[in-house]
């Protein structure tokens, strides 16, 4: 023994203690002592100290390998045991794994969807400072809540509030459904299309938002008039593969725009969706936009986005808006205009105003999806726990032997947790494959571009790790503690234990919880489907089938309307035609109307042409439709709906004829029909006849509506296109079917109900898989009992009923718990709709019966198997 | 049959050579002086442990003296299997080195 002090620094010892496995520690420290003693004689103390640390660093990889190897040894053992157990009880293990992986896959897919919904417009660096100006114009709560503002507002705002506002960007498209563009190649080939996603924008767009140009200069691409940038897809549509920069696109057959840039494909998670951007200065040209409209404070067509300076609070700015309104808006509007600011990031999920740029989603749906995702994961975890604890009884002997051989409780728990980590890892891998396979279908269903690449998307990776750890720990800990508490002697004897009894009651709670959640999802799906069906089938009050809409706003066709009408009506397939100011059943305009006593009120309004009621299939209660036989309908006549008569207290429809609104006489009353979407109730409604001058026709006649009555739809369409082309050869012809357009309004609901249905069936499937496993376990446990009962004369039917009843009782309890919860939640959801179904008893009964039926099938299959066993086999060992 | 890697062969030979002195540190030093390859202090045990796991070496922790401040040292001894596999390896190498005379002549010239 040497009494010299150690040469190894204290820190070095601690480090070695951490790194080196216990049994090698002393040896390694010894080696270091020896090494340092030798070297010290040659090189001196200081150098040796340095050399020590160099050696430690060099040795770290070796130490790591050794300690890891020890861990892996134990983990390896756990994996061995897990694999052996799986092999021995293959079908159980398969059920267990499939259930868990389907659950994880469902959870991941829904969370990816939700994440995409939540991420809307957040990729802009300055998104928190960007706000949209809202323009509410209401009197007595009637009027419009517009997401867009007057055109000159942006210019005024930045002049009036230079300290608060850094930049303004407007999006403007004349509020037209489509705008016409055409390209002319050198060879004389013309390509013309109606573009729905073309916007005039301010040049600051690239500073304010994070949209980028692939080609072209972001500073100058949209400054100066007649400049256009477009996406690569659109460039290919008009110019094939040629470089589009410097090429021209003709707008509405009048003005040439020069292509000054190509846009990077914009991310899909933004509510600003566009294919073309045109410089705002272009609108200063009176050929493109008339002076009167350009400077109008009455018309509010511009989606206006303010970039606030850092530190400016939107609430403070909002408080100054009443002064702004008083200063700039014309006298007649001041009383009713209120301006608000809306954060950019809130638009996609929290905004459902009039004139949104594109239909938005809703936070409610996001919440519903999160709830479903958590339900599914919970159901599959419960399954896993149930099956593991049930199976644990089979492992009593193994655990008992281990205890006798000296395994400590901790070691046993660790072994079982390791097993659960291993199993959930296998399940996770399966789940990833499932997600990968399912993503294309999900994208098709939801019209999103979800990308499943866990390594590129840190968010997915995060959820994967959380899910994995969560599932492993939750599903591993309870069985681990439960099994590890078993008394060895009893375990080997195979007795039913106290602990086991507790386990079964907890398992029963879990089964109830699991089926309660499944019931909830089933009822939810049934109600959602009924509601959706109701929305689609509800009497709209008009007939949108076989009605064709041709977008005409700013199209030269309106100059030839009478000629077109005469031409088209020669075809017997075409019943009648009219024009409409907006899509009936979807949107409407509003107007202020003075009643006879001089008060003015806001009412929903559509400006239409002759034969409106006939074309749309609206029923007249009394009076007449607008007609060319009376030359003065535009100036003197209006048509109202029944609700208007109620509202104004005019008594009977006949009594209403001849009443005066805005100096125009009521000439007809139509039955109430849903002029806007079914999310809104029917209000008072006015139909006006469009003026015959070119200006009114081009502005107020946004669509020509044509009622056809034919089976030869393609032929009739060809006929209409031929007539159109003969009148205006340079304006692109385009059409939409009204019923398709109306159904697209309920896309959010329809996607929701489909997704919910899919995931609800999944959850029921998972729950049944779990129950199947439990039932088979329970049935096997009672083999001997069944044998004795059989010997005593019980029939197979008796036995099946006896074995199934315990599970059916649990399901009954689950149903009783799920019903009130479902009723409460669905009632909340239905409040969203102005027209909704009453929740009746059927979805509840159906779900309960379905639950009982499925459970009975699952359980009785196992029960039957056990009941049919010859008692000789089960009883001969006793 | 097992074919030893060069490292394994070298370490087995070192253990044979050092006999009673075949401790971890000594093997490390010997390897360094003979081949110039320098293992880190922890690192030398990684291949040695592997040889133990394969059954070619046995190990034994021995009470220590001298500079080690009472820490044990680990002595490695070769097993019968280890000697067998060394022999086999040498045989193979020798048979591989049996070159035709013509080649041998050329090698000498070079």
Cβ-based contacts of B64 with chain A (< 8 Å):
30
Chain B residues inside the 8 Å CB shell of A17: none
Question: What is the helix (H) or strand (E) element at residue A828, kind and residue range?
Answer: helix A796-830
Q: What is the pLDDT of residues A170-216, one digit of tens each?
A: 999 887 777 888 888 877 788 888 888 899 999 899 999 999 999 88
> Is position B65 within any domain?
yes
pLDDT of residue A228: 94
Average pLDDT over residues A293-321: 90
Residue of B nearest to A35 (CA): B25
Please say if the pLDDT value at position A305 is more than 90: yes
Choose among B23, B5, B8: nearest CA to B77: B23
Q: What is the pLDDT of residue A303?
A: 94
Residue A223 has pLDDT above 60, yes or no: yes
Give residue A712's pLDDT.
85
pLDDT of residue A227: 93
Q: Helix A22-43 vs helix B24-35: angle between axes, to the nearest 10 degrees?
A: 50
Residue A17 distance to chain B (closest CA, Å): 13
Q: Which of A6, A28, A33 shows the shortest C-beta gap to B42? A: A28
Segments forming the whole domain that contains residue B64: 6-106
Using an 8 Å CB-CB cutoff, list residues of chain B that contact chain A: 24-25, 40-43, 45-46, 49, 61, 64-74
Give the best residue of A1, A7, A17, A30 to mutate against chain B (max B CB count within 10 A). A30
Q: Is the pLDDT of residue A878 over 70?
A: no
* pLDDT surpassing 70 at residue A3: no
Residue A499 pLDDT level (bands cut at 50, 70, 90): very low
Q: Is the pLDDT reported for residue A478 higher than 90?
A: no
Q: A47-51, A386-390, A646-650: which has the minimum mean pLDDT?
A: A386-390
Closest residue, chain B, to A55 (C-alpha): B40
* Contact at CB, A34 and B67, closer than 8 angstroms: yes
Of A488 and A344, more confident: A344
The total number of residues written for chain A in this structure: 878
Q: Helix or strand or coil: residue A664?
A: strand
Please tell me which residue, A687 or A139, carries the higher pLDDT value: A687
| Residue A752: band (very low, low, confident or very high) from pLDDT cuts 50, 70, 90 | confident
| Separation between Cα atoms, residue A723 and residue A710, nearest integer Å | 18
- Phi/psi at A540 (5° precision): -75, -20
Mean pLDDT value of segment A245-270: 88
Q: Are strands A337-343 and A664-670 parallel, antiparallel or unpaired?
A: unpaired
The pLDDT of A754-769, averaged and rounded, is: 82
Read off φ and ψ for residue A166, nearest 5 degrees: -90, -40
Between the ranges A85-94, A231-240, A827-836, A846-855, where is the mean pLDDT highest?
A: A231-240
What the block records as the tokens of B88 is 């086999």
Residue closest to A252 by CA, chosen among A186, A355, A188, A174: A174
In a domain, B49, yes or no: yes
DSSP string, A173-187: -TT-S-EEEEEE-TT
Q: Which residue among B49, B65, B71 places its CB closest to the CB of A29? A: B71
pTM of the model: 0.70
Q: What is the pLDDT of residues B29-59, one digit of tens each?
A: 889 888 888 888 878 888 888 899 888 999 8
| Average pLDDT of chain B, as a whole number | 85
pLDDT at A189: 80
The sign one gets for the Cα dihedral B47, B52, B56, B62 is positive
Contact B42 A20 (CB under 8 A): yes
| Cβ–Cβ gap B74/A27 under 8 Å | yes
Distance between CA A45 and CA A9 in Å, rounded? 12
Identify whether B1 is part of a domain. no
Element (H, E) at A859: helix A842-867
pLDDT score of A260: 92
**Tell me, what's the pLDDT at A690?**
87
CB contact under 8 A, A62 and B71: no
Is B43 within 8 Å of A20 when comparing Cβ atoms? no
How much is the average pLDDT of A35-58?
81
Closest CA to A19 of B40, B34, B106: B40
| Region class of A554: left (phi > 0), else alpha (psi between -120 and 50), else beta | left
Query: What's the rounded mean pLDDT across residues A32-51?
Result: 81
| Average pLDDT of the segment spanning A284-295 | 84
Residue B43 belongs to some domain of the structure: yes
Of B24, B40, B65, the CB nearest to A55: B40
- Judged by phi (left if over 0) then psi (alpha if -120 to 50, else beta), residue B55 lies in left
Closest CA to A200 of A63, A75, A294: A294
Find which of A34, A68, A69 to mutate to test the B interface (most B CBs within 10 Å of its CB). A34
Q: Contacts of residue B69 in chain A, CB cutoff 8 Å?
A: 1-2, 4, 6, 30, 33
Residues of B within 8 A of A61 (CB-CB) are 43
Spatial distance between the Cα atoms of A747 and A740, rounded to a whole number of angstroms: 11
Residue B12 lies inside a defined structural domain of this protein: yes
User: Taking all residues of chain A, what is their mean pLDDT, rounded to a whole number?
Assistant: 83
Count structural domains, chain B: 1
Question: Could you tell me the pLDDT band of residue A406, with boundaries at 50, 70 and 90?
Answer: confident
> What is the residue-wise DSSP string for A349-389?
HH---BT-SS----HHHHHHHHHHHHHHHHHHHHHHHHHHH
Give the bridge partners for A686, in sequence order: A605, A640
Write the secondary structure of A18-80 as one string of H (helix), E (strand) and C (coil).
HHCCHHHHHHHHHHHHHHHHHHHHHHCHHHHHHHHHHHHHHHHHHHHHHHHHHHHHHHHHHHH
- Cβ–Cβ under 8 Å, residues A685 and A541: no
Closest residue on chain B to A21 (Cα): B42
Kindly report the CATH number assigned to the domain that includes residue B38. Answer: 1.10.10.10
- The reply to whether residue B42 touches residue A6, judged by beta carbons under 8 angstroms, is no
Would you state the structure tokens that stand for residue A150, as one six-digit string? 């007057």
pLDDT of residue A254: 83
For A74-104, give the secondary structure using H, E and C. HHHHHHHHHHHHHHHCHHHHHHHHHHHHHHH
Instruction: Specify the range with the lowest mean pLDDT, choosing from A271-275, A480-484, A657-661, B82-86.
Output: A480-484
Asked if residue A529 lies in contact with residue A757, where contact means CB atoms within 8 angstroms, the answer is: yes
CA distance A35 to A18: 21
Q: Identify all chain B residues contacting A62, using CB atoms and an 8 Å cutoff.
A: 40, 42-43, 45-46
- Residue A491: its pLDDT value, please? 64
Residue A716 CB neighbour total at 10 angstroms:
21
Strand locations in chain B (E): 57-62, 73-78
Q: Looking at the complex, report in whole angstroms how far the Cα of residue B54 sits from the nearest Cα belonging to chain A.
A: 15
Which 8-state DSSP code applies to residue A600? E
pLDDT of residue A1: 39
| Host H or E run for residue A705 | strand A703-708
Does the structure show a pLDDT above 90 at A495?
A: no
User: What local confidence, expressed as pLDDT, does residue A501 receive?
Assistant: 46
Q: Would you say residue B1 has pLDDT above 70?
A: no
Reply yes or no on whether the pLDDT at A500 is more than 50. no
Cβ neighbors of A338 (< 8 A, separation 6 or more) are A135, A136, A137, A138, A321, A322, A325
Q: A29 contacts in B (CB within 8 Å)?
A: 71
Distance CA A137, CA A198 (A): 27
Q: 3-state DSSP helix/strand/coil percent for chain A, to nearest 5?
A: 55, 15, 30
- pLDDT reading at A2 higher than 50: no
Task: Say yes or no for a CB contact (<8 Å) between B69 and A30.
Answer: yes
Q: What is the mean pLDDT of residues A493-510?
A: 58
CA distance B80 to chain A (A): 25
Among A2-6, A539-543, A825-829, the range scoring the smallest mean pLDDT is A2-6
CA dihedral A742, A745, A751, A756 (to 10 degrees): -100
How do residues A86-145 score in pLDDT, each as one tens digit? 787 787 778 788 888 888 898 888 888 888 888 899 889 999 999 999 999 887 776 778
Give the residue from A174, A230, A172 showing the smallest Cα distance to A202. Answer: A172
**CA of A63, closest CA in chain B: separation in Å?**
6
CA angle A66, A67, A69 (to 5 degrees): 65
Q: What is the mean pLDDT of residues A370-396?
A: 78
Q: Are A218 and A204 in contact (CB under 8 A)?
A: no
Six-digit token pair at A149?
């503002």
Taking only Cα atoms into account, the Rg of chain B, rounded to an integer number of angstroms, comes to: 17
Percent of chain A with pLDDT over 90: 14
Which of the two residues, A587 and A454, has the higher pLDDT score? A587
A699 within 8 A of A159, measured Cβ to Cβ = no
Task: Give yes or no for residue A359 having a pLDDT over 80.
Answer: no
Interface test with A, best of B41, B47, B63 (most A CBs within 10 A): B41
Q: CA B26 to CA B97: how far, in whole Å?
A: 31
How far apart, in whole angstroms, are the C-alpha atoms of residue A14 and residue A19? 9
Total length of chain B: 110
- How many cross-chain Cβ pairs, A to B, lie less than 8 Å apart? 74
| Residue of B42, B47, B59 to mutate when probing chain A, most A C-beta within 10 A | B42
């Amino acid at each position: 023994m040497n009494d010299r002090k150690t040469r190894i620094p204290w820190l070095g010892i601690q480090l070695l203690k951490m790194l080196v496995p216990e049994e090698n520690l002393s040896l390694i420290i010894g080696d270091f002592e020896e090494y340092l003693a030798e070297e010290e004689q040659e090189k001196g103390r200081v150098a040796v100290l340095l050399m020590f640390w160099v050696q430690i660093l060099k040795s770290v990889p070796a130490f790591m390998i050794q300690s890891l190897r020890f861990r892996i040894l134990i983990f390896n053992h756990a994996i061995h045991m897990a694999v052996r157990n799986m092999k021995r009880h293959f079908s159980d293990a398969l059920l267990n794994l499939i259930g868990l992986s389907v659950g994880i896959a469902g959870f991941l897919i829904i969370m990816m969807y939700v994440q995409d919904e939540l991420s809307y417009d957040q990729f802009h660096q300055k998104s928190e400072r960007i706000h949209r100006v809202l323009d509410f114009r209401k009197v007595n709560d009637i009027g419009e809540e517009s997401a867009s503002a007057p055109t000159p507002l942006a210019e005024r705002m930045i002049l009036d509030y230079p300290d608060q506002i850094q930049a303004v960007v407007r999006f403007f498209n004349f509020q037209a459904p489509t705008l016409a563009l055409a390209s002319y190649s050198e060879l004389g080939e013309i390509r013309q299309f109606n573009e729905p996603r073309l916007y005039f924008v301010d040049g600051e767009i690239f500073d304010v938002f994070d949209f980028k140009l692939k080609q072209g200069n972001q500073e100058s691409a949209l400054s100066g008039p007649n400049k256009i940038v477009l996406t690569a897809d659109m460039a290919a549509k008009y110019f094939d593969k040629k470089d589009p920069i410097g090429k021209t696109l003709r707008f509405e057959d009048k003005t040439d725009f020069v292509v000054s840039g190509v846009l990077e494909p914009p991310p899909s998670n933004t509510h600003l969706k566009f294919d073309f951007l045109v410089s705002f200065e272009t609108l200063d040209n009176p050929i493109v936009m008339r002076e009167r409209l350009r400077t109008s404070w009455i018309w509010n067509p511009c989606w206006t986005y303010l970039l606030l300076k850092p530190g400016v609070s939107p609430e403070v700015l909002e408080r100054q808006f009443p002064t702004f309104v008083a200063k700039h808006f014309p006298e007649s509007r001041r009383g009713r205009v209120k301006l608000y600011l809306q954060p950019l990031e809130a638009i996609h999920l929290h905004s459902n105003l009039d004139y949104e740029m594109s239909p938005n989603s809703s936070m409610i749906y996001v919440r519903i999806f999160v709830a479903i995702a958590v339900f599914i994961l919970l159901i599959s975890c419960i399954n896993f726990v149930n099956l593991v604890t049930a199976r644990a009884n089979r492992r009593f002997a193994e655990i008992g032997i281990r205890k006798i051989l000296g395994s400590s409780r901790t070691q046993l728990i660790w072994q079982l947790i390791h097993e659960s980590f291993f199993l959930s890892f296998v399940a996770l891998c399966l789940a990833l494959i499932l997600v990968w396979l399912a993503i294309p279908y999900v994208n098709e269903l939801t019209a999103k571009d979800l990308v499943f690449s866990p390594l590129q998307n840190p968010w997915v990776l995060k959820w994967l790790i959380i899910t994995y750890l969560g599932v492993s720990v939750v599903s591993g800990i309870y069985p681990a503690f439960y099994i590890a508490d078993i008394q060895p002697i009893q375990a080997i004897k195979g007795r039913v234990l106290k602990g086991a009894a507790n386990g079964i009651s907890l398992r029963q709670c879990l089964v109830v919880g699991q089926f309660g959640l499944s019931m909830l999802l089933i009822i939810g799906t049934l109600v959602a489907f009924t509601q959706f069906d109701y929305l689609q089938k509800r009497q709209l009050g008009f007939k949108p089938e076989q009605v064709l809409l041709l977008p005409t706003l700013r199209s030269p066709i309106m100059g030839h309307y009478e000629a077109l009408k005469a031409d088209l009506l020669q075809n017997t397939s075409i019943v009648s035609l009219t024009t409409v100011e907006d899509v009936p059943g979807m949107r409407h305009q509003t107007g202020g109307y003075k009643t006879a006593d001089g008060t003015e009120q806001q009412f929903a309004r559509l400006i239409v042409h002759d034969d409106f009621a006939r074309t749309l299939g609206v029923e007249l209660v009394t009076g007449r439709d607008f007609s060319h036989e009376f030359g003065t309908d535009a100036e003197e006549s209006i048509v109202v709906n029944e609700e208007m008569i109620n509202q104004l207290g005019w008594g009977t429809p006949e009594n209403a004829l001849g009443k005066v609104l805005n100096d125009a006489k009521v000439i007809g009353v139509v039955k109430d029909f849903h002029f806007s979407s079914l999310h809104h109730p029917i209000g008072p409604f006015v139909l006006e006849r469009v003026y015959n001058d070119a200006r009114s026709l081009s502005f107020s006649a946004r669509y020509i509506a044509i009622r056809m009555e034919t089976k030869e739809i393609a032929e009739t369409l060809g006929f209409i296109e031929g007539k159109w082309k003969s009148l205006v050869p340079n304006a692109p012809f385009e059409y939409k079917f009204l019923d398709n357009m109306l159904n697209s309004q309920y896309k959010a609901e329809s996607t929701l109900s489909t997704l919910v249905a899919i995931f609800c069936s999944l959850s029921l499937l998972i729950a049944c898989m779990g129950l199947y496993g439990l039932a088979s376990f329970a049935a096997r446990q009672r083999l001997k009992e069944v044998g004795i009962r059989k010997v005593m004369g019980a029939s197979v039917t008796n036995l099946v009923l006896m074995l199934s009843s315990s599970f059916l009782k649990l399901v009954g309890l689950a149903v009783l718990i799920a019903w009130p919860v479902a009723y409460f939640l669905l009632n909340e959801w239905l409040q969203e709709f102005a027209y909704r179904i009453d929740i009746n008893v059927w979805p509840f009964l159906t779900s309960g019966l379905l639950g009982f039926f499925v459970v009975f099938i699952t359980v009785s299959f196992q029960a039957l198997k056990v009941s049919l066993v010859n008692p000789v086999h089960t009883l001969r060992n006793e | 049959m097992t074919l030893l890697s060069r490292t394994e062969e070298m370490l087995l030979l070192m253990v044979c050579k050092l006999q009673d002195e075949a401790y971890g540190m000594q093997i490390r030093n010997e390897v360094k002086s003979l081949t110039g390859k320098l293992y880190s202090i922890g690192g030398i045990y990684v291949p040695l442990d592997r040889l133990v796991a394969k059954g070619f070496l046995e190990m034994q922790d021995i009470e220590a003296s001298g500079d080690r401040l009472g820490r044990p040292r680990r002595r490695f001894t070769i097993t019968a299997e280890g000697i067998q596999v060394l022999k086999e390896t040498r045989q193979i190498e020798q048979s591989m080195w049996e070159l035709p005379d013509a080649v041998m002549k050329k090698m000498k010239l070079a």
